[in-house]
Amino acid sequence: MSLPSTSIPAVSRLRAATVGDLVAVLLVLGTLVMLAQASRGLMQPLPEPGLGAIDLHPSALPEYALRTSMRMLGAMVLSLVFTFTYATWAAKSRRAEQILIPLLDILQSVPILGFISVTVVFFMSLAPGRLLGAELAAVFAIFTSQAWNMAFSFYQSLRTVPNELAEASRSFRLSPWMRFWKLEAPFATPALIWNMMMSMSGGWFFVVASEAISVGNTIVTLPGIGSYIALAIAHRDLGAIGWAIVAMLIVILIYDQLLFRPLVAWAERFRFEQEAGVMPLRSWVLSTLRRSGLVSWVLSPVAIAWRRTYRRSTQSAKAPTPIGPDRRATDWLDRLWYVTIAAVSLIALWKISAFVLAGVTPGEVGTAMLLGLATMTRVFVLIALASVIWVPAGVWLGLRPGAARIAQPIVQFMAAFPANLLFPLAVSAIVALRLDPDIWLSPLMILGTQWYIVFNVIAGASTIPAELRDIGVNLNVRGWLWWRRIALPAVFPFYVTGAITASGGAWNASIVAEIVSWGDTTLKARGLGSYIAEATEAGDFHRVVLGIAVMSGFVVIINRAFWRPLYAFAERKFRLG
């Protein structure tokens, strides 16, 4: 007996829900199994030098890829926690902003080798003689390559919420907690997700330094793709490098399908402008989870508990608030705050100077500053070239969602491609053609950081209101006039965010790009990056701190004198609404 035709849709929905539950269970169980395998042996003792060596056979790459992926995922979780706390505090508090944003400028410019050289001993002491300490050091090193641009993106979005949305939240009398989760966080989500993709890709750029740690006499090699690449470079094994590239591509595609594509599809609901006629991005993972009744049942208690926080925040918002301090008290608090900052800064400067001068001469301080000028010149030239090339390309992709979806995994892979894998080509070409390393090693600095500009410009172009584009078409606005009146004003705040992060990333990448090795051949460009890399390898902490301090000083001065005025101009002149 056949079923009535009216029941066929119900049966189809039931079958789809059953399949969705099955796939959801498999995804969750698979994730748990991967976490269990990746965490296995964390409390085992560290192997002796020469034992537990990295195996260059391709059969070892699946396990190495899993371990590297888990480290990067753990660092991404830490970066999200940091972003939602640090960036929000900076955007909401004027006093906090005055110290947190310059501090963020410094943090993004401090080379990863600098973080490793200072923190590896601390993390190793948390679990003496165990792999756990080394794993924590590696995760923290990867975190330092992911967190800063995410925090900058979220901060920029919170500061540029459209006026009409802010007025609507005030009209509905939303509490600060509800305003954040109902308005500000959703508005910042699309750009944040693009920067999460960039952060995950950027983490690959420094994964070699985080998994093959060498600080003076301390040598820690963790199983992973990064340590695999480091050994392949040392052995001049082009075949192993090729297998590493294949493994990276597979991992990036898996991340794209299981994590970032579902997030991008989910975040389209938060776009400020919803353009009619554009097909939404589809994700089989997101569709499966939405159809799964099991997932809904598991998440239901969490949703109920979350909604209760809104109710409590609304009740607290209705309570009468005490009258704030008068203007005189506020002025005294501001003065106390500035005095405190100045005192802490002077104490820190005195401590750093005493430590550095205990191991180096004043003349070497001047040498480090001259090396900083050389690296600064490279950074300026490379950022200018990257802007000329990638701003038009990013705008083109941002205005074409279909093309952006195709380009997304390609750009992710290009951003993730470590400069270390180009060392054979760079070293061989420079030696064979007798080129100047001071010039021709420079492109390696921008290889990974240029994509910060691309991702942010794409995110900015996607927010151009459809009405504005239609007006431009109707008024026949074309050519340079279209760029000057429509495209550049819309993407300028996003571009500045990307350029600031790309600039800091280029300074950071100088430690990898200014001194490169392929087997026994080593090429060095004169600059602050090679200075810090050599000091780190020698375990000379006085010169490491000197190099980091000089680099941080350069970045802070450049950001204060150039990038921050541009940022304030963009926020003031090109804010939506």
Residue ranges, comma separated, of all CATH 1.10.3720.10 domains in the chain are 19-24+58-273+306-313, 360-577
Q: Which residues contact 573 (CB under 8 A, 6 or more apart)?
A: 489
Amino acid sitting at position 260: F
* Higher-scoring residue by pLDDT: 207, 316: 207
Half-sphere exposure of 258 (CA within 13 A, CB side): 15
User: For residue 113, which of 417, 557, 535, 570 has the smallest C-alpha distance?
Assistant: 535
How many angstroms separate the Cα of 204 from the Cα of each of 166, 182, 339, 432, 503? Answer: 38, 33, 41, 29, 18
* Token digits of residue 375: 């690296």
How far apart CA 241 and CA 228 sit, in angstroms, is 8
| Residue position matching structure tokens 């296995």 | 40
pLDDT of residue 5: 46
Helix axes 94-109, 488-513, angle to 10 degrees: 40
Looking at per-residue pLDDT, the higher value among 273 and 454 belongs to 454
pLDDT tens-place string over residues 204-246 = 767 776 787 665 555 677 888 888 888 888 788 888 888 988 8
Note the pLDDT of residue 86.
Answer: 92
What does the alpha-carbon distance between residue 224 and residue 209 come to, in Å, rounded to a whole number?
A: 11
Relative to beta strand 521-524, strand 515-518 is: antiparallel
Q: Give the span between the Cα atoms of 387 and 446, in whole angstroms.
A: 11
360 Cβ contact list (under 8 Å, min separation 6)? 542, 543, 546
Tell me how far apart the alpha carbons of residues 224 and 210 are, in angstroms, rounded to a whole number. Answer: 10
What CA–CA distance (Å, rounded) separates 73 from 252? 12
User: What number of residues does the chain have?
Assistant: 577
Which amino acid type is present at position 354?
Answer: A
Beta strands in 118-264 (DSSP E): 212-215, 218-221
Q: What pLDDT band is residue 6 in, cutting at 50, 70 and 90? A: very low
Question: Is the pLDDT score of 49 beyond 60?
Answer: no
Q: Considering the domain 19-24+58-273+306-313, what is its CATH architecture? A: Orthogonal Bundle (1.10)
Question: 521-552: per-residue pLDDT in tens?
Answer: 788 889 988 898 888 777 787 888 888 888 88
- Token pair, residue 296, equals 């809904």
CA 468 to chain centre: 31
CA–CA dist 112, 505 (Å, integer)? 10
- Superfamily classification of domain 360-577: MetI-like (1.10.3720.10)
Q: What is the pLDDT of residues 359-371, one digit of tens each?
A: 888 888 899 999 9
Quote the CA–CA distance of 499 and 196 in Å, as a whole number.
16
Question: Burial of 137 by CB count in 10 Å (0-12 exposed, 13-18 middle, 19+ buried)?
Answer: buried
pLDDT-above-90 percentage for the chain? 7
Least-confidence region, from 36-45, 267-276, 278-287, 301-310: 36-45
pTM: 0.73
**Above 80 in pLDDT, residue 177?**
yes
Number of neighbours of residue 340 by Cβ within 10 angstroms: 12
Distance in angstroms (rounded) separating the CA atoms of residues 505 and 149? 9
Angle (CA) 48 52 58, round 5°: 160
With tokens 């990295």, the residue in question is 54
C-beta pairs of 329-335 under 8 Å, 24+ apart in sequence? 334/95
Which of 56-60, 267-271, 417-421 is the least confident region?
417-421
Name the 3-class secondary structure at 359: coil
What are 62-84's pLDDT values in tens digits? 888 888 888 888 899 999 999 99
Q: Whole-angstrom Cα distance, residue 444 to residue 418? A: 9
Q: Are 509 and 445 in contact (CB under 8 A)?
A: yes
For residues 174 and 257, is the Cβ–Cβ distance under 8 A? no
Q: Taking residues 90-103, what's their average pLDDT? A: 82
Instruction: Give the pLDDT score at 8.
Output: 47
Beta carbons of 61 and 228 less than 8 angstroms apart: yes
Q: Which residue has the higher pLDDT, 421 or 246?
A: 246
The model's pLDDT over 496-515, given as tens digits with 9 standing for 90+, comes to 888 887 887 788 778 878 88
Tell me which H or E stretch contains 521.
strand 521-524
Q: Which of 94-103, 315-324, 441-450 has the lowest mean pLDDT?
A: 315-324
